[in-house]
Structure 1
Amino acid sequence: MQMLLNAGDAIAGDVAARYGFAPLHEAPAEGYFLAFEDGRLVLQQTGDKARVCVDFVEGASAHRRKFGGGRGQPVAKAVGLKGGANPAVLDATAGQGRDAFVLASLGCTVTLVERSPVAAALLEDGLRRAALDADTAEVAGRMTLVHADSLQWLLDADAKSFDVVFIDPMFPEPDKRAKSKKEMAMFQALIGGDPDADALLTPARRVARQRVVVKRPRLAPWLAQLKPNFDYPGESTRFDAYLPLA
């Protein structure tokens, strides 16, 4: 991945160095690249107006934080947010961190593991900006980003080290909602799918103290062809829940 650097931009230079992005001093003739625009790290494609960034302060995340339904949301119910429970959650496939941010806004501490350097850099920038905003600083303080391969990270993690492990595999082919949003289609096209998603389930069940929650399209097959212990169906998605391994 290439990253456009502006003269004197210390943050951009630091991000490029840590994630191994090739520095650019002008936009490439074609292809994807990263750049800072209006203080935000964005993914873009030459000749295309679409932009991808992680924004926890404004837009959809702000609307969901204020009006999303609180602990009555399907993801909150699936993770086990009832009463005063605030489980420690491992989001093993963080992506753009949307569900992780919802859970953190509801009181959970969330560790986000993301192996794609592009996705991790976008997430890091989103968390950086959220930590600077009065409305989201407390939420960002409950979120910790780890740039690592999820499968290996789970295999190396201590048993029963998180209350809940959350898995939301990305599929190579965008669903109908993604096709209607050019930004999401761009993100998926670059990041790709999670072909090893099935392999995450068993180590996740070893790491979880309470349950593993897998987010799936409503009609998608079970992860690893394994029937969940219980599920939370919705209109377009469902949450399959698996009990920990002894």
Structure 2
Amino acid sequence: MFAELFIGLGAAMTVDNDASRLAVLAAQGHESAAAALAERLQLPLQQRSQPLAALLLCVDEQGLSLRSTEVDVPGAAATGAVRVDFVGGAQAHRRQFGGGAGQMVARAVGIRGTLRPSILDATAGLGRDAFVMASLGCRVTLLERQPVIAALLADGLQRARAAGGEVAEIAERMQLHCCDAIRAMTDWQDEVPQVIHLDPMFPHRDKSALVKKEMRLFRPLAGDDDDAPQLLAAALQLASHRVVVKRPRKAPAIAGQAPSAEMKGQSSRYDIYGKKRLE
């Protein structure tokens, strides 16, 4: 599929060595949608006369994807695409066989019995945890401050709603905003969320190809969440019942208030900051 995106671009194109450079690339027949996206995100369109950008936001019949044109090892293939897919693949498998309310994220946010708290996911990323919480019946507001990542997530939610059935119903319980989470939580005007879920960017130790691929693509865009202490402080000020923070299993807690409890898995844990009992 990646090769098909280069129809009309010419075979002699080279990769731009500026790793921070990002452009929008249209598959044949998707030029108008790509141009609109480029204008909205204030990004250049990949042109025939230019070297390939290091990162390409690609628009094709499958939706939106982010791809790297660089290689990590000489002779190796470029990093594959990252796209948000709630309809099939890993998310569909997790929805059907992931353990339901027994999953660690579900227990951390307080899902049990008939209890379904209102949740604010202030570091939405690709929306995987938010989709799990929504699939279990929670209404989830998602905040993502990186516009390209938010665009990928919005595209995935749009395709989920268009798919109909159970997936569309889940996606309808997810509302996405592209904004700075600290500012949004500080100036919050909507109904106060009972639970706030945080998953700040950290150096992943997971060796899976998928995680490594995503981190290589997202790190130049999102960087590290150096303001995690301020993010936690804003969340603690806003949430009515609890804040939960996803961390690597052996990583220190975020600086600031100490968690009141923790929940550990094989590679990650949740630090739980309780304010009021969920009932």
TM-score (norm 1): 0.91
CA distance in 2, matches of 1:111, 1:35: 26
CA distance in 2, matches of 1:40, 1:215: 29
Higher relative contact order (CA 8 A, sep 6+): 1
2:79 and 2:213 in contact (8 A); partners too:
no
Task: Tell me which of 250, 262, 270 is aligned to 1:231.
Answer: 262
2:154 and 2:176 in contact (8 A); partners too:
yes
1:159 and 1:208 in contact (8 A); partners too:
no
Query: What corresponds to 1:40 in structure 2?
Result: 63
Which moved further from structure 2: 117-126 or 200-209? 200-209
Structure 1 unpaired stretches of 5+: none
Corresponding pairs, count: 244
CA distance in 1, matches of 2:135, 2:170: 5
Cα shift at 1:226 = 3.2
Which structure 2 residues correspond to residues 138-217 of structure 1 after superposition, within 5 A?
138-158=169-189, 161-171=192-202, 173-177=203-207, 181-190=211-220, 191-217=222-248
Structure 2 residue matching 1:13: 3-state secondary structure: helix
Which moved further from structure 2: 106-115 or 182-191? 182-191
Query: What corresponds to 2:130 in structure 1?
Result: 100
CA separation of 1:159 and 1:142: change in aligned 2, threshold 3 A: closer
Task: Tell me which of 251, 259, 279 is aligned to 1:220.
Answer: 251
Query: What corresponds to 1:112 in structure 2?
Result: 142
Structure 2 unpaired stretches of 5+: 1-21, 71-77
Answer with 1 or 2: which has the greater Rg: 2
Query: What corresponds to 2:25 in structure 1?
Result: 4
Cα shift at 1:166 = 0.4
1:164 and 1:213 in contact (8 A); partners too:
yes
TM-score (norm 2): 0.81
2:46 and 2:52 in contact (8 A); partners too:
no
Structure 1 residue matching 2:194: 3-state secondary structure: strand
CA distance in 1, matches of 2:79, 2:62: 17
Structure 2 residue matching 1:136: 3-state secondary structure: helix
CA separation of 1:202 and 1:158: change in aligned 2, threshold 3 A: farther
Which structure 2 residues correspond to residues 64-83 of structure 1 after superposition, within 5 A?
64-83=94-113
CA separation of 1:202 and 1:189: change in aligned 2, threshold 3 A: closer
Give the counterpart letter for 2:127 in structure 1: G
**Where is the strand percentage greater, Structure 1 or Structure 2?**
1
CA separation of 1:84 and 1:137: change in aligned 2, threshold 3 A: same
Cα shift at 1:83 = 1.3
CA distance in 1, matches of 2:31, 2:241: 44
CA distance in 1, matches of 2:32, 2:119: 33
Superposed CA deviations along residues 66-96 of structure 1, whole A, max 9, x for unmatched, are: 0000001110001000111111111011111
**Aligned-residue CA RMSD in angstroms?**
2.1
Superposed CA deviations along residues 160-196 of structure 1, whole A, max 9, x for unmatched, are: 710110000011x332335664422323333222111
